[in-house]
Amino acid sequence: MTLATIFYAIGFPLLGIILGLLYKGIDRKISARMTSRIGPPIRQPFWDVGKLLIKETVVPENAVAWIFNVMPIVALASSMTLLLYIPFGIIKAPLEGYGDLVVILYLLTLQALAMAIGGFSAGSPFASVGAQREMILMMSYEMPLAIVITGFALIYKSFSLSTIALTPVWTLVGPVGWIGLLLLLAALLIVTPAELAKLPFDIAEAETEIAEGLLSEYSGRNLALFYLSDAVRSFAMVALEVALFFPFTFSQGFGLQFSEPVSYIIEGLWFLAKVLILYILAVTLVRTSFARFRIEQASRLFWTYVNIMALLGLILVALEVM
Amino acid sequence: MVDVLKKSIWVFHLNSGSCNGCDIEVLDVFTPRPDFERFGVKLVPSPRHADAIALTGPITRAMVPKVVEAIKALPEPKIVLAIGACACGGGIWHDTYVVVGGIDEFYKILKEEYGMDPPTTIYIPGCPAKPEALIYAAGILADIIKQKQRRREDVIREEDEEKRKIETIIREEIGSRHFLPKIIVKRGPREGSV
């Protein structure tokens, strides 16, 4: 039990929550500006969570109470654990060496699974429909995601994220591999909104059709935990993409050298800026520009087009590497 | 006002027999020009997520059990927004047999038949309530401004004063020489009458 362990145990989740909520606030503000509104202040998500934590928590009569209450905690815990696997700039990931990309794939699935189980246990028809949609959507987008991760395993001959973050993937392949990687990146960017249940793919939480779907019976503390887990996972997912595809450090990119403590701060900020840019590109712009897909449209999109794109990328990468 | 709800108010919108005028106003305060979201107000589709329930319409008798259910489904602390003239006091339907006639009459039923205390209520009059009125309500919720409400006695006294003023004006006008004399129309007996 060293000081570093305690910092990682307490500091990292707190940092994750703060960053997640901050990015959510920026996302809402930019989305509002895009539709020429003023938008809520950037600190609005903090107030939302604070309010939800203080409000009464209702457990419906038909619900399986213990599953209903446990699932928000599982969702938040899986998001937090996911965050602990992601290298933060040049600071190494706290759980480095204890798991690899496959664990990350499972953790990404676990949160969606927890939400679906919570929805099924709520005993409400809206929540049931939402949970079924979530399961179908999960079956659709997991395949392209797994293909992307297989592509990385082919290039590095390893599933370890620390090896991947060490050298940028673009320097390891030739022109054919570049095209393959671009295809993989595009597939991953299309998967991102589905993974985070954001607008073109928020079919499971469709507000207008099924009253927030699987969240419809959650209130108070439980809803706050889901809100937090969503915020943290959005940040972690985009941070993972940055770690996979854009691990370029500030000093590499601009050819500058800093002393030890300053470089940590600058690289951290540089990492946050990269995550913010990718967050806006992959989540906010898409969320504001597109309308919701129907479930069978989303399924077809992932199983045919995105899958073909990802497989093509994988083949090109494999041709280059082998 | 409940402190927790000042900065972030999630509203569940329920049409309790409205003519859709106020419903359209509730939706259009979220459009770019009034932009309700900048006060932290959000429309939510499930009453479990909501802090406030927006009632539009004079509450028809068939709607009473549903409105009670919806108010029960809201987790504490909760607020009721009575939007439009109908929801505030029955509007033009105040004496119609199919409607309860406004939120105050509804609270009497809530107290007598369901044994529930009425939640904090904000009255937003207008037919339909203007977006400005709804923004004013958001200001009241956020504790920026106080709700302007007059006591019933004050209103009656003011009405009496107004009446007296009008009566004096008429009397003065009658006394003045510019006032036209009363025109008396004389008619003959109707045809056919005896």
Q: Look up the pTM and report it.
A: 0.81
A38 contacts on B by Cβ (under 8 Å): 35, 38
Residue B177 lies in a domain: yes
The percent of residues in chain A predicted with pLDDT above 90, rounded, is 3
- Please report which helix (H) or strand (E) contains residue A45, including its range: helix A44-54
Q: Which ipTM was obtained for this model?
A: 0.77
Q: What is the DSSP string of A285-298?
A: HHHHH-PPPPHHHH
A41 contacts on B by Cβ (under 8 Å): 38, 40
Q: How far is B39 from chain A (nearest CA, A)?
A: 6
Q: In chain B, which residues touch A (CB < 8 A)?
A: 4-5, 7-8, 32, 35, 37-40, 44-46, 48-49, 51, 73, 75-77
What's the pLDDT at B4?
Answer: 61
Q: For the packed helices B64-73 and B102-113, what is the interaxial angle rounded to 10 degrees?
A: 80
A218 contacts on B by Cβ (under 8 Å): 48-49
Closest residue of chain B to A206, computed from CA coordinates: B45
pLDDT above 70 for B144: no
What's the pLDDT at B178?
Answer: 62
User: Is A32's CB within 8 Å of B44's CB?
Assistant: no
User: Is A40's CB within 8 Å of B38's CB?
Assistant: yes
Q: Which two structure tokens, joined as six digits, stand for A33?
A: 């500006």
**What range does the domain containing B47 cover?**
9-186
- Give chain B's count of helices (H) and strands (E): 6, 5
Closest residue of chain A to B76, computed from CA coordinates: A56
What's the pLDDT at A134?
Answer: 87
User: Is B40's CB within 8 Å of A212's CB?
Assistant: no
| Mean per-residue pLDDT, B89-104 | 84
Q: Residue B192's pLDDT band (boundaries 50, 70, 90)?
A: low
For the segment A118-165, what is each residue's pLDDT rounded down to a tens digit? 888 888 888 888 888 888 888 888 888 888 888 888 888 877 777 777
Q: Lowest-confidence range among A7-11, A231-235, B134-138?
A: A7-11
Q: Residue B1's pLDDT band (boundaries 50, 70, 90)?
A: very low
Residue B108 lies in a domain: yes
What's the pLDDT at B107?
Answer: 87
Which among A36, A44, A57 is the nearest to B8, CB-wise? A44
* Rg, chain B, Cα only: 23
Q: Provide the 3-class DSSP secondary structure of residue A126.
A: helix
User: Is B49's CB within 8 Å of A215's CB?
Assistant: yes
Per the DSSP assignment, residues forming a β-bridge with B79 are: B52, B120
Most confident listed range (A78-82, A173-177, B3-7): A78-82
Residue B74 lies in a domain: yes
Sign of the dihedral through C-alpha A19, A24, A28, A33: positive
pLDDT above 80 for A116: yes
A208 contacts on B by Cβ (under 8 Å): 45
Q: How far is A104 from chain B (nearest CA, A)?
A: 31
Picking from A107, A238, A110, A99, the residue whose alpha carbon sits closest to that of residue A159 is: A99
Which among A39, A56, A208 is the nearest to B38, CB-wise? A39
Q: Residue B3's pLDDT band (boundaries 50, 70, 90)?
A: low
d(CA A127, CA A118): 8
What's the pLDDT at A199?
Answer: 80
Closest residue of chain A to B33, computed from CA coordinates: A37
Closest residue of chain B to A208, computed from CA coordinates: B45
Q: Residue A1's pLDDT band (boundaries 50, 70, 90)?
A: low
Q: Where residue B25 sits, what CATH number does that domain have?
A: 3.40.50.12280
Picking from B50, B80, B96, the residue whose alpha carbon sits closest to that of residue A55 is: B50
Q: Residue B177's pLDDT band (boundaries 50, 70, 90)?
A: low
A50 contacts on B by Cβ (under 8 Å): 4, 8
Residue B84 lies in a domain: yes
B5 contacts on A by Cβ (under 8 Å): 51
For the segment A194-250, what is each residue's pLDDT rounded down to a tens digit? 888 888 888 877 777 787 778 888 888 888 998 899 898 889 889 888 888 887 776
For the segment A280-316, what is each residue's pLDDT rounded down to a tens digit? 998 889 888 888 888 888 889 889 999 999 999 888 8
Q: Residue B182's pLDDT band (boundaries 50, 70, 90)?
A: low
Residue B4 lies in a domain: no
CA distances from A24 to A42, A50, A117, A189, A282 (A): 8, 15, 25, 18, 13
Sign of the dihedral through C-alpha B158, B162, B167, B169: positive
d(CA A169, CA A156): 8
Residue B114 lies in a domain: yes
pLDDT above 60 for B194: no
Between residues B182 and A199, the one the model is more confident about: A199
For the segment A90-115, what is each residue's pLDDT rounded down to a tens digit? 677 777 767 788 888 888 888 888 88
CA distances from A235 to A84, A195, A272, A273, B120 (A): 12, 12, 10, 12, 38
Q: Is A54 exposed, middle or buried (0-12, 13-18, 19+ CB in 10 A)?
A: middle
Total domains in the fold of chain B: 1
Residue B32 lies in a domain: yes
